[in-house]
Structure formats: structure tokens, C-alpha cells
Amino acid sequence: MVDVLRSRESVRRKALWTLSHLVPGDPKAAAILDVLDEIEGQERVDLNHSHPGFDIDAARKAVQIERYSSVINIVREASHSTALA
């Protein structure tokens, strides 16, 4: 499972990096967005199998995030263990 997650994250980062170099409205973006949608779908399926009834939105709400003035959000490690317990 770790290899799957690592591979999925690698594909996501490459897609986001490629998308960041396109201008808004570029027709090439559609294929990249399809890749990102597919990854999100895979994550929803994985989450439903490992934690039925716990969707991605609930996971986002369960994670502690600190917002900083530099517009960087930091996820606290402590929230991981309590979010899925």
C-alpha cells in the first residue's frame, strides 16, 4: 500500500507541476485535470475500504491545520492519530 500511495503522490505532483506551467484555458489542462480526478477517485475508494463512512471531507475536517501569515498551512502530526481512531 505504501508503494501505491508513493506512486500516486508522485503522479499527482507531476500533474500539478505540469498544470502550473499552463495558462488558464489551455486545452491541455483537461487531460491533466482528468489525472487529478482519477487520483481523487482512487483515494475515495481506498478511504471507503479502510474506514467505511469516513469520507475525504470528514478527513479534512479532522486534521488540525495552522494557518500562517505567509499563506502556508501546516498540518500537525498529532491530528493524524486522532483523525482515524
Residues 2 and 33 in one domain: yes
Q: Is the pTM of this model over 0.75?
A: no
pLDDT by residue, tens only, the chain of 85 residues: 678 888 899 999 999 999 999 999 999 999 999 999 999 999 888 877 776 666 677 777 777 777 777 767 666 665 444 444 4
Non-local (6+) Cβ contacts of 66 within 8 A are: 73, 74, 76
Residues 45 and 62 in one domain: no
Supply the range of the domain harboring residue 26.
1-50
Residues 45 and 70 in one domain: no
Distance of CA 83 to CAs 7, 26, 32, 71, Å? 24, 38, 30, 24
Domains contained in the chain, number: 2
Q: How far apart are CA 85 and CA 81, in angstroms?
A: 6
Residues 4 and 40 in one domain: yes
Residues 39 and 70 in one domain: no
Residue pair 12/36 in contact by the 8 Å Cβ criterion: yes
